Structure 1
Amino acid sequence: MQYRTEPCDVLEAIARRHSVREFRPDPVPDEVLIALLEAAHQAPSAMNHQPWEFVVVRRPETKAALAAATAGRNAQIVQTAGASIVCLASLRQADALADRIEAQIRAGQAPPERQALVQRLREDQAHRQALVLPNTYTAVGFLLLAATRYGLSTLWMTGFDGERVKAAVSVPAGDYLFAGVVAVGHPAEGWEQPARTRRPLEEIYSFERFGK
């Protein structure tokens, strides 16, 4: 199987990226999967806390366990795509960020007032989730674009029982939030990509004031 190696402009990758819902089972080489994960790892995150973690699923028995955590077409997709990537948002990184800020306060590198943020990072579950999930989603977007650059197709899916997904790949209880599954591979023979539909551009932006 040949993979794109020539440079690919990021705007071209954005324009070419589509969600594919029928895959053929050709495996994706480990070095390509690692390249996708490296791209995801370059994503920005608030205060550089980098909450994303990924589990790559390739073996038939693990694919079957992943499929059991969903239904319908998603179950078929994860069993036929070359690989599926379980995306996780790490609450441990909220704790690590709290530790880092606390150390900065002790060293006089951050004002004592930041202790309030430390407390929120440790105790406010809604704040912890609102921190780690959006940053993980950004990393998922980077992964999707990197796959497009390599000539691969993807589908980001969230219609899973997150707890069952985490159990299927042995994620420690309580430490991680489910952020979706990305199927990666090559479209099935005969797959026809539907035309992309988007709202008119002028509907989604304003300058200076909303609606202007």
Structure 2
Amino acid sequence: MLHQTEPCDVLEAMARRHSVREFRPDPVPDAMLLALLEAAHQAPSANNHQPWEFVLVRRPETKAALAAATSGRNAQVVQTAGASVVCLASLRQADALADRIEAQVKAGQAPPEREAMVKRLREDQLHRQMLVLPNTYTAVGFMLLAATKFGLATLWMTGFDGEKVKEAVGVPADDYLFAGVVAVGHAAEGWTQPPRNRRPLEEIYYFEQFGRREP
């Protein structure tokens, strides 16, 4: 099946979205890239802390620096696709959330017990990571669906040296976690999408209790 490029509604985008691994080098207009980021910005997040931030990569020299942080097909993809989006999870937003909750407690707008949450947000590094990363991944999913809706091809890639990626695009090392790279553009001429392989739907859900198949 050839990759389809006509616009579609969101439910169709969910069914149509595939990982495209061969791109043609046509540029993606900045307005279109910003529309994808606006879609990502609508994603839900715990306590509305919105930890996602993105770096758009379009210039050949930046693409080359990004490619140097990975290998194999990923390196080829980021140099060929019209653009790539470096996806970041901001630990600063965990700090901002802690500040907000602390202010609410002091103002009597939140119960004193929430001070424990503030302490955990500030001191528990694993908790901080597990807060910002899943919320950022949700935003990435929104971006992928929007790209499909707009008729663009994408590939979400995580097989990079995250520290090298951050260095390549000037990200403060200690304040952000690497959450992947999304290549965005147009599928190469003749790109054939392999059949989608998904587990049967009835294998992935239960009623009321794990293992219960009957309603």
Q: Distance in 2 between matches of 1:70 and 1:9?
A: 34
Q: Which amino acid in the other structure matches residue 72 of structure 2?
A: G
Q: Runs of 4 or more off by more than 4 Å in structure 1? A: none
Q: Distance in 1 between matches of 2:19 and 2:157?
A: 10
The TM-score, its normalising length taken from structure 2, stands at 0.95
Deviation at 1:9?
2.1
SS at match of 1:37: helix
SS at match of 1:44: coil
Q: Please say if 1:147 is aligned against 2:123.
A: no
Q: Distance in 1 between matches of 2:206 and 2:10?
A: 24
Q: Distance in 1 between matches of 2:43 and 2:65?
A: 29
Q: Please say if 1:186 is aligned against 2:151.
A: no
Q: Please say if 1:79 is aligned against 2:79.
A: yes
In structure 1, the partner of 2:208 is 208
Q: Please say if 1:55 is aligned against 2:55.
A: yes
In structure 1, the partner of 2:175 is 175
Q: Which amino acid in the other structure matches residue 150 of structure 2?
A: Y
Q: Distance in 1 between matches of 2:119 and 2:25?
A: 47
Q: How many residues are aligned here?
A: 208
Identity %: 84
SS at match of 2:88: strand
Q: Which amino acid in the other structure matches residue 166 of structure 1?
A: K
Deviation at 1:190?
1.0
SS at match of 2:174: coil
Deviation at 1:126?
0.3
The TM-score, its normalising length taken from structure 1, stands at 0.97
Q: Distance in 1 between matches of 2:9 and 2:160?
A: 33
SS at match of 2:63: helix
Deviation at 1:10?
1.3
Q: Distance in 2 between matches of 1:101 and 1:128?
A: 15
In structure 2, the partner of 1:34 is 34
Q: Which amino acid in the other structure matches residue 95 of structure 1?
A: D
SS at match of 1:27: coil
In structure 1, the partner of 2:93 is 93
Q: Which amino acid in the other structure matches residue 104 of structure 1?
A: Q
In structure 1, the partner of 2:65 is 65
In structure 2, the partner of 1:13 is 13
Q: Which amino acid in the other structure matches residue 66 of structure 1?
A: L
Gaps of 5+ in 1: none
Q: Distance in 2 between matches of 1:193 and 1:176?
A: 34
In structure 1, the partner of 2:195 is 195
Q: Distance in 1 between matches of 2:206 and 2:169?
A: 44
Q: Which amino acid in the other structure matches residue 15 of structure 2?
A: A
Q: Distance in 1 between matches of 2:209 and 2:187?
A: 43
Q: Distance in 2 between matches of 1:173 and 1:135?
A: 20
Q: Distance in 1 between matches of 2:28 and 2:159?
A: 23
Q: Distance in 1 between matches of 2:189 and 2:202?
A: 37
Q: Which amino acid in the other structure matches residue 40 of structure 1?
A: A
Q: Distance in 2 between matches of 1:25 and 1:34?
A: 19
Gaps of 5+ in 2: none
SS at match of 1:53: strand
SS at match of 1:181: strand
Q: Please say if 1:105 is aligned against 2:105.
A: yes
